[in-house]
Structure 1
Amino acid sequence: MRFSSSSPRPPGRLPLAGRYPAAVALSLLALSPYLILTTATALMEPRIMGDIGATAFQLQLAGGMSNAAYAFGAVAAADLVQRVARRRVYLVCEAGFVLSSVLVLAAPGAGPFTAGVVLQGLFTGMLLVAALPPLVTGHPVGRLRTTAAVISLGLFGMVAFGPLVGGLVGSLGGWRPLFAGIAALAATGLTIGALTFEGNEPPDRRAKFDRTAIPLALGTTVLPFFGVAWLTRGSFGDAAFLVPVVCGLICGVFLVGGQYRKARPLMPVRPISNTLPVVGTANAMLVGACFTSLLELTETYLIREAHCTPLRVGALLTPQIVGVFVAAVLFRKVMVTRWTPYLALSGTVSVAVAAGVLLTVSPANASVVVPFAALLLGFGAGAGVTPGLFLAGFSVPSAQIGPTFALVELLRSEAAFLVGPVLLHLALTTGLAQGFHLAVAITLVLLGAGALLLVCLYALGGARPEPPDLASWLSGSSTAYHSPALLAVVRGRWGGRAE
């Protein structure tokens, strides 16, 4: 399971085993190709629709089911790696991603295209759990800061890079060669992985398939993501929207509640139900949802209202990359200090300021306003989500970081890919000129209310900022954070009165 070793490579060991740069490349190449596509596809839609004869609904459904498969894949992999060596899971999923990319680029119609992008999402979600935990736990404690920055760049740097890629393809054509390039990147990752990723003994080969968590996770992702895709051809009052969304959210409640009550859960809900991980996870959900919503709204406004070309849209949003990079560098510095919760809050504030800036946008000033807002959005995503992910991950034993990442990514994806399409539909049906500003204002209210709630939860938990004990966490002897119980201050006072 571990990538690293300070001793010379023994006979028969993989050529790149134990080399940190190779492990970083392996992880980035596992996640980056798909994450680029999540924000690039929107600017390529007209060309894709024309080439494969797809409708707007079919393309939206393909994207929605792909996002659902990504979130579900993380949970499925958390179950699978209990019984199967991570190396085998990694190699199969990376090879599957290559083949699914080939299926997309060769797709003659909407059916094969949809199947390919859904499989891309599924395999990437599984790769998240197969590849990231060994990168985090398989190297000396001195590498953790760099690893955290790399994960931030991998998760959001590529997302921020997507609009530029999509703009180039949308203006110049060639979406099939793009998928060929994506397949080539994944093939490179497969090659590096075969030379780097060492095998491990699974924790429990006798572990049974989780018959409650996996079906509920499937319902939690597929049902609501189908519902929001329906908005492309329907309305908020349609049963095809309401029923799947409501049923999917109910599945999510039962999934989290069931995992909380289980003695041996697939995902560690109970350990991350304390103040720091709850605040970190909720912050990641809030920032992820609002970032995605504002990005989708801005892209649509620039194309339909400001009449920008896809290339110009991508260029105006490119400062996101700078913001993500700054956030990653800053997180690398503060991760070992007591300032991580404050960095997460600064990400929320940054996205809120970006929303405020976007309220002033018009076709006349878009070339000035949008790049500044994009810079704030990039910083907010990098500073708000990744620190939140690690606040949760460092609150459980290091052996459970994989299932923890799966749970946080499931919740974050659920929020991000549900709120965005709903607000976009609201903006379009209201009339984009006014609807855009209405949707942005709603996002700003969500951010303000959410930030206030998170600050209150942090204060009422009685948490005191302290640096994480990374050495104990990495050795498996303790968690890095010793978080107080949720609402510990209130519970203590009530308990005192009761006595």
Structure 2
Amino acid sequence: MTREGPLASHYPAVAAMVVAALAPYLVLSAALDPLMPIIAKQLAMSEGTTNLAEGLANAGYALGTVLSVQLAQHLPQRRMLIIYATVLVIGSALAAAATEPTQFIVGHVLQGLCTSLLLIAAVPPLVTGFPPTKLRPTAAILNLSIFGAVALGPLIAGIQAEANAWRPLFWVVTGIAAVALVLSLLTFQDVPPADPTATRSPIAVGLAAAGCVAAFYGASQFLPHQSLDGTALAPLAAGVALILILLIQQYRARRPLLIVRPLTSTLPVAGIAVAMSAAAASLPAIALTGAALRDRYSPLDLGLLYLPEFGGAVIAAIVFAKLFTTRAVHYFALAGMLSLIAGIAVIAMSVPPTRISTLIGTGLIGIGVGATVTPALFIAGFSLRNAALQRVFAIIELLRAVAAFMITPILLYIAVTVGDSPAAGARVALWVCLGLAVGGTLLGIALYTLGGIRPPSPAVQRWFGGEPAWDSPPLLAAIRRNSSG
């Protein structure tokens, strides 16, 4: 008989486990920047070491998306989920109790790695393991777990920084991770490996590991050096090249670990483009806004200025839950990109922004991010069979993490080195963010147009039956039809 926990089929418990697994690190990813000076002072860390800690933790998050898929093919998935949650608790406790830099870095890297391992292991079963009637609440929960947590980060950081403390936040994170572990035991189902006959892919995992570490290490070196020397550029370029090689190798592989080739039709490519551009524009825009306002407000006041971002994320999650099983999900993603563009523009027009423009801008950015990335995940996911959802989420999260976490330190570097004042540099970097958002929007519209497709409604029942929810035409299908005719 299959062993099960007492809450194995209890949807609220499984959903709560996913929230507790994902939220802690994602809150930290947005909260650490204002807290790092306090951490650095107490642990005797240099600026370069603090940036390295953040960079390697983000590299761990990106790598975990690939590693989780590899482990799921050959090892019992729910047993692995318990291991991931256990290591997350250990890593969180190490970071919270750290008395020197190495202990903090190791703990924080484990937090990043285990969060993405849990994301890929726990989220797809929540989506496909319950009846279609649960899709709407699942969509809202997923949106809030990822982007609501990120949006709350600046406020939580402001509360901690105002108290000149950081350990309470890390201990709370440890406690939430422990809750995730307990819930993973209570909801346990002894699920077998996804595909024991699958080819092991050490090359793919090795390329992902080397590429993520090199790229994020290089990006983390921009601010400490404040110069374009080989210390930052060489590993950054090498890391990006290795990630590109990974995608090409997986596209050409006969039995790939990451399903790149099936994602190269119109709708998945459009979804991935939107997710990457929204992530690459929003996270640095929020960081740049904080850097521009840090000397004008107390940490708590600055954190409160970001509260509309969370409100926007909540609104987007509720609306998305209502719309995402209709054709409106495509237009909703477009509306989200337009909201993101408007939010960045409001802030960029006056740097440092006023209190009103910051409140309006962060609210629009919150709506924009909540209305783009998760819809883009499902636009890509509905284009393939639901059995492939884990691998779809893995590759999109890998690319989204690279786009968001790697570009942010580069744009912060631009802000402090370009122009004749910090405000001028921040303005230039914000216009770059705006350009990324506009470019992603135009690319998505162009892909739909050149694919000759009218946004379809997902056939949810068919998707749960094992077939794609819609048919995605080949890239540039309209041009191909015209040229062949």
TM-score, with length taken from structure 2: 0.97
Which of 468, 479, 492 does residue 458 from structure 2 map onto? 468
- For 2:20, the equivalent position in structure 1 comes to 29
- For 2:238, the equivalent position in structure 1 comes to 247
**How far is the alpha carbon of 1:22 from its aligned partner?**
0.5
- The one-letter amino acid paired with 1:332 is A
Distance in 2 separating the partners of 1:35 and 1:448 = 26
**How far is the alpha carbon of 1:209 from its aligned partner?**
2.6
Instruction: Tell me, yes or no, if structure 1 residue 396 matches structure 2 residue 384.
Output: yes
Task: Write out per-residue CA displacement over residues 464-490 of structure 1, whole angstroms, 9 at most, x where no aligned residue.
Answer: 1111011111121x1112110111111
Distance in 1 separating the partners of 2:249 and 2:464 = 28
Distance in 2 separating the partners of 1:21 and 1:383 = 24
Instruction: Tell me, yes or no, if structure 1 residue 312 matches structure 2 residue 286.
Output: no
Instruction: Tell me, yes or no, if structure 1 residue 133 matches structure 2 residue 124.
Output: yes
- For 2:266, the equivalent position in structure 1 comes to 275
**How far is the alpha carbon of 1:438 from its aligned partner?**
1.2
- The one-letter amino acid paired with 1:445 is G
Instruction: Tell me, yes or no, if structure 1 residue 145 matches structure 2 residue 133.
Output: no
**How far is the alpha carbon of 1:362 from its aligned partner?**
4.6
**How far is the alpha carbon of 1:130 from its aligned partner?**
0.9
How many residues matched?
A: 483
- The one-letter amino acid paired with 2:29 is T
Preserved contact between residue 79 and residue 210 of structure 1 (Cα < 8 Å): yes
Q: 1:17 to 1:64 in 2, by over 3 A?
A: same
Which of 240, 252, 259 does residue 250 from structure 2 map onto? 259
Aligned residue for 1:17, secondary structure, equals coil
Task: Write out per-residue CA displacement over residues 374-421 of structure 1, whole angstroms, 9 at most, x where no aligned residue.
Answer: 100100110010100111111111111111101000001111112211
Aligned residue for 2:474, secondary structure, equals coil
Which of 378, 384, 408 does residue 372 from structure 2 map onto? 384
Instruction: Tell me, yes or no, if structure 1 residue 178 matches structure 2 residue 166.
Output: no
Structure 2 regions of 5+ residues with no counterpart?
none
Preserved contact between residue 2 and residue 190 of structure 2 (Cα < 8 Å): no
Distance in 1 separating the partners of 2:200 and 2:294 = 47
Larger CA deviation: 12-21 vs 398-407: 12-21
Q: 1:327 to 1:493 in 2, by over 3 A?
A: same
Q: How does 1:144-163 map to 2 (within 5 A)?
A: 144-163=135-154
Preserved contact between residue 412 and residue 429 of structure 2 (Cα < 8 Å): yes
Aligned residue for 1:376, secondary structure, equals helix
- For 2:337, the equivalent position in structure 1 comes to 348
- For 1:54, the equivalent position in structure 2 comes to 45
RMSD: 1.4
Larger CA deviation: 205-214 vs 113-122: 205-214
Which of 348, 354, 378 does residue 359 from structure 1 map onto? 348
Aligned residue for 1:212, secondary structure, equals helix
**How far is the alpha carbon of 1:205 from its aligned partner?**
2.6
Which of 22, 32, 42 does residue 41 from structure 1 map onto? 32
Aligned residue for 2:371, secondary structure, equals helix
Distance in 1 separating the partners of 2:450 and 2:310 = 35
- The one-letter amino acid paired with 1:424 is L
Which of 94, 112, 116 does residue 103 from structure 2 map onto? 112
Distance in 1 separating the partners of 2:52 and 2:369 = 25
**How far is the alpha carbon of 1:235 from its aligned partner?**
3.9
**How far is the alpha carbon of 1:352 from its aligned partner?**
0.7
Preserved contact between residue 4 and residue 190 of structure 2 (Cα < 8 Å): no
Aligned residue for 1:198, secondary structure, equals coil
Q: 1:236 to 1:486 in 2, by over 3 A?
A: farther
TM-score, with length taken from structure 1: 0.94
Distance in 2 separating the partners of 1:236 and 1:129 = 37
Preserved contact between residue 222 and residue 228 of structure 2 (Cα < 8 Å): no
Preserved contact between residue 361 and residue 370 of structure 1 (Cα < 8 Å): no
Structure 1 regions of 5+ residues with no counterpart?
1-9
- For 1:6, the equivalent position in structure 2 comes to none
- For 1:416, the equivalent position in structure 2 comes to 404
**How far is the alpha carbon of 1:12 from its aligned partner?**
6.4
- The one-letter amino acid paired with 2:412 is L
Task: Write out per-residue CA displacement over residues 414-445 of structure 1, whole angstroms, 9 at most, x where no aligned residue.
Answer: 11112211111111112312111111112212
